[in-house]
Structure 1
Amino acid sequence: MPNPHAPVVAVTSDLQQVDDQQRYTVNVIPVNTLARVLGVVPLVVPPLADMLDLDALLARVDGVMVTGGLTNVSPARYGRTPSDDDGPFDRARDATTLPLIRAAIARGTPILLTCRGLQELNVALGGSLRQENPHRPEHRKHGTPASARTDDDRYRIRQDLDLVPAGRLATILGSEHARVNSLHSQLVDDLAPGLVVEATAPDGSIEAVTVADAPGYVLGVIFHPEYWAERDPTSLAILRSFGEAVSVYRAAGGAAPWAATGPGRGPAR
């Protein structure tokens, strides 16, 4: 049965050149997962930059998901000169998602950020990124395994995480350790002011963050919980925590009722 009261979640998208045409595109995996697993209505938002009325958008949605993508945030966004090795870039997406992230946080709209989304969160709040050393052996790299031939191979769960005890992510998962699917070749360099580290990899790289003093739910993870949502308890717990925050936000009429429960943590679980 269709649910006329289902929450609506905005999903970011990319601007891509396909042959001689420009297209707005998004990976089907997170969009399908939001609809199938959480039962929300995904609303794909084109990267319109200044043409997008953020206030009008956020007044109509109950959550935001900033997904991964095929490009990197331009280093120009954090005061560095871009090189060919830093790309490819999607400047239309940068110009859309960075202000969208800041606006959603300020409004208290629940926001889940995955992969490029965490990188965008760090840049949006004043941090910087760096490229992973491409010469690291495959079993130690965070980037997509060169040996992968299928999506299951690309998204395989292979990265161990140490979670901050009593942190938001540790509370969601009920554990101080997790194993996830990392596919990112960019790492957090300078952590943005106000970001709270929730999880790190054994090499010390940051894998999950929240936002201190955020009025609503904010969780950034550099991995992809949307891929294994129905087969991996860690992935499902993260998505359900976001879905719960979205439902609470909608029921409260677009308010963030847990602002006083902890820095960027949302309601205790």
Structure 2
Amino acid sequence: MKQGKDSRGAASSTARGLLPRQPLVAVSADVIELYRYLWHATPLQYLEAAVAGAGVFPLVVPSLGDRLDFDQLFAAVDGLIVTGSGSGVHPSLYGGDASEANGPYDPARDSTTLPLIRKAIDEGIPLLAICRGLQELNVALGGTLATEIQDRPRMLDHREPPSDNRDERFAIRQNLTIKSDSSLSRMVGARHIKVNSLHRQAIDRLAEGLEVEAVAKDGTIEAVSVRSACTFAVGVQWHPEYWVKSDEPSARIFRGFGDAVRARAAKRPSITPYTE
């Protein structure tokens, strides 16, 4: 028999004929070695931001490449977050040269995230790509990357400050100019913001399917959007997840992503509750 009221006297979801659903969002994973095991993992800060900033249920997807059924995954999730990482996209994927200097690499992650990104765009799944994720987005759509950009003439040093203090490494310190009347400017409500910066690679040739949303003072592309997307599909080179609870532009990015995820989830058929 159906339940009527919960312990607080409110009508239960079963009594309303629906089960509440916190939208699932797929989150990319790195492959790392720890305790003599290989782990598929993602930093806590992304998962915290997904829950606290976007209001979604993060689901870490192992980097198993084509052994995963992406159709089955996207039948269950309503969003995709592609995280940052200390590794770089392997240069063989965009016509570059691999070297110890611009490593380390994570080919298992590449084999998973690139097809995930393309499928998310094709399926109209909301997409938020952060740092390495932005670079993967560009490569997935046919663009190229520049490595060790701090060594190039007239370029800023976008790497994290040397410190044992995580807050200092993720400090908001870099000025950005956001393109007027862009999805990002409407989202954050400003043309100029400050962000953190922890990268040494950047977009070189922009993929044809992307629009530049923001640039740094030296011209480095710091944010993009997918031109043909029917929903939220944004990549940022900085780390809004780190300050999502205290920095308003960071919070607005995650809220915008979460709103798009919920809008997609709302279009799913209602879940029929279990009855005895």
Q: Is TM more than 0.5 here?
A: yes
Which residue does 2:177 correspond to in 1?
162
Equivalent residue for 1:65, pick from 81, 84, 106? 81
**1:75–1:86 CA contact under 8 A, matched in 2:** no
Higher mean C-alpha deviation, range 16-25 or range 28-37: 16-25
**2:149–2:202 CA contact under 8 A, matched in 1:** no
Q: What is the 5 A alignment of 1:72-151?
A: 72-134=88-150, 140-146=156-162, 148-151=163-166
Counterparts of 2:156 and 2:173, CA distance in 1: 10
Q: In the alignment, is residue 8 of structure 1 matched against residue 24 of structure 2? A: yes
Counterparts of 1:133 and 1:219, CA distance in 2: 22
Q: In the alignment, is residue 24 of structure 1 matched against residue 57 of structure 2? A: no
Equivalent residue for 1:213, pick from 228, 232, 236? 228
Q: 2:169 is aligned with what amino acid? A: R
Secondary structure at the aligned position of 2:85 is classed as: coil
Higher mean C-alpha deviation, range 197-206 or range 38-47: 38-47
TM-score of the superposed pair, with normalisation by structure 1: 0.89
**1:65–1:111 CA contact under 8 A, matched in 2:** yes
Q: 2:98 is aligned with what amino acid? A: P
1:89-119 superposed Cα distances (whole Å, 9 cap, x missing partner): 0000000000000000000000100000000
Which residue does 1:230 correspond to in 2?
245
Counterparts of 2:106 and 2:142, CA distance in 1: 19
Which residue does 1:182 correspond to in 2?
197
Give the C-alpha shift of residue 204 in structure 1: 0.2
Give the C-alpha shift of residue 18 in structure 1: 2.1
**2:177–2:191 CA contact under 8 A, matched in 1:** yes
Give the C-alpha shift of residue 149 in structure 1: 2.1
Q: In the alignment, is residue 250 of structure 1 matched against residue 258 of structure 2? A: no
Give the C-alpha shift of residue 81 in structure 1: 2.5
Counterparts of 1:150 and 1:56, CA distance in 2: 41
Alpha-carbon distance change, 74 to 109 in structure 1, aligned in 2, over 3 angstroms: same
Higher mean C-alpha deviation, range 98-107 or range 244-253: 244-253
Q: 1:169 is aligned with what amino acid? A: L
Secondary structure at the aligned position of 1:84 is classed as: coil
% identical equivalent positions: 46
Which residue does 2:209 correspond to in 1?
194
Q: 1:198 is aligned with what amino acid? A: E
Give the C-alpha shift of residue 253 in structure 1: 2.1
**2:150–2:158 CA contact under 8 A, matched in 1:** no
Q: Which runs of 5+ in 1 are unaligned?
A: 255-269
User: Which of the two has higher C-alpha Rg?
Assistant: 2
TM-score of the superposed pair, with normalisation by structure 2: 0.87
**2:25–2:57 CA contact under 8 A, matched in 1:** yes
Give the C-alpha shift of residue 20 in structure 1: 2.9
Counterparts of 2:105 and 2:151, CA distance in 1: 22
RMSD: 2.0
